[in-house]
Amino acid sequence: MARSTDRARPVRGARRVVTRALRAAWGADPVGFARRELGACPWSKQVEILEAVRDHSRVAVRSCNGSGKTYIAAHAVLWWLMCFPDALVITTAPTAHQVRDVLWREIRRAYRGNEDLIDGTLLRTSLELGEKHYAQGLSTDRPERFQGFHEGHILFVVDEASGVREGIFEAIEGSMTSAHAKMLLLGNPSSVSGTFYEAFHRRRELWHAIHISAFDTPNLSEGRVVMPTLVTPRWVEEAKVNWGEDSPMYQVRVLGEFPSETEDTLIALRLIERAAQAQAPASAAGEEPTEMGVDVARFGTDRSVICVRRGEQVIEMEAFARRDTMETAGRVKAAIGKHRPRIVRVDVIGVGAGVVDRLREQGCPEVTGVNVASRASRPEHFANLRAELYDGLRERFQQGRVRIPADAELIGELAGIRYSFTSSGQVRIEDKEEARARGLRSPDKADALMLAFAGARRRGYRVWS
């Protein structure tokens, strides 16, 4: 979001005097403060957010990607600090990266150039104006760190609120009993449970709820890019092609709607996004075994995908289309030489068998063919091996034992996978043709991921390694 360049500003250097009357004027007009004092240029929904924080104790904003919600939240933080000499702001998000490099990056940007007004000591995730006058970013799974804030004017800002643990919200609620406490929740509506979801549903009466669709933003409403930092018409068109208008990813990322997850959704979007946000541990990940999964396509719109994982972390994913089996085998062999995996699982249905034969001919003993249409090791539970392997992948996401790249295509494919039951009560996973019939692209990346995390058959049951 560009700053206004024609505002009148005092000569830099001298500390500006903030009087009680000035604070009162700012408190009554947060939009004017953001524009005149901080140089912001908010669009209509950002104006609505600032005014809602002024007028309501609880504000929840569900939004598409690229709406500028975090940008305006940063300005709300600085407005709150400047309105009250006893103001406290506590911000949080699901991960340290999101606290430090998303919201607080915007706070740091808004602060710089306005030091003559705001003053104080700015660090990466804190701004201290006085002993009881400060803003701080917390990233923790310890709810007790959010307790004990009962004095002064308190504002809690929760970014990417769908992914924040419920224990954190429960701790924050303990401070909402204060006379001058407010809470601002922002995020993509990726989960159909929890505090953020309930703010728009069962507990709607407690919250002032704001919804932002990509089609509300200036670039989409005007049909041209007038604000380069916001979502663009081109991105929305690409999202429609990549995900399909009925996909959970399109609903969340473009429309700002909660996903229509039904009982046939295999892996909840919130679990997929948690895996995409997870940070690799500081331990020596290089010592963990490396495995590969390969989903093979020949020509047409489907792609061949090579997925490499080291331990629980996906370290590389390569997708390519319109390549014959010889070139595909060459790419897989190059990946084997680069990563030295202990096993490479290749789907042998169709042209995949030719890739396996060629790799073995070239002396790649770690390559094994997997026919996902074959009998499951537990046929009483699963219609075929594909259903069994995907069920194992689902368990990994539920248990937090998988970390994936923030790849929009991969996330969209995983979120679009559906399951059903056969007449015998076996779990069955929707096949690629059925997914295409729903307007979704073939889940090539998801299938390669599934193969990379597949375990070996042992003693008549499957071990998820």
Q: Tens digits of per-residue pLDDT, 22-56? A: 999 999 999 999 999 999 999 999 999 999 999 99
Percent of the chain with pLDDT over 90: 60
Topology, domain 269-462: Nucleotidyltransferase; domain 5 (3.30.420)
3-state secondary structure 296-356: CCCCCCCEEEEEEEECCEEEEEEEEECCCHHHHHHHHHHHHHHHCCCEEEEECCCCHHHHH
The CB density around residue 371, as the number of other CB atoms within 10 Å, is: 14
Residues contacting 152, CB < 8 A, separation 6+: 84, 86, 87, 88, 132, 133, 180
Amino acid at 341: P
Encoding tokens for residue 91? 């911000």
Residue-wise pLDDT for 145-193, tens only, equals: 887 777 789 999 999 998 898 899 999 998 898 889 999 999 999 888 8
6: left (phi over 0), alpha (psi -120 to 50) or beta: alpha
Within 340-426, where are the H helices? 352-361, 385-399, 408-415
The yes-or-no verdict on residue 263 having pLDDT over 50 is yes
**Residue 211: which pLDDT band, with cuts at 50, 70 and 90?**
very high
Residue among 177, 180, 127, 120 nearest 153 (CA): 180
60 pairs with which residues across the strands?
185, 209
Residue-wise pLDDT for 227-253, tens only, equals: 999 999 999 999 988 788 877 888 899
The yes-or-no verdict on residue 405 having pLDDT over 50 is yes
Report the alpha-carbon distance of residue 92 to residue 130 in Å, rounded: 21
Encoding tokens for residue 374? 């074959």
Residue-wise pLDDT for 346-401, tens only, equals: 999 888 899 999 999 999 989 999 999 999 998 988 999 999 999 999 999 989 99
* Domain boundaries, given as residue ranges, for the chain: 20-221, 269-462
120 pairs with which residues across the strands?
none
Residue among 210, 205, 180 nearest 49 (CA): 210
**Which three-class secondary structure state does DSSP give residue 368?**
strand
Report the alpha-carbon distance of residue 291 to residue 257 in Å, rounded: 37
Helices 385-399 and 269-277: crossing angle in degrees, nearest 10, is 60
**Which three-class secondary structure state does DSSP give residue 278?**
coil
Give residue 125's pLDDT. Answer: 95
Topology, domain 20-221: Rossmann fold (3.40.50)
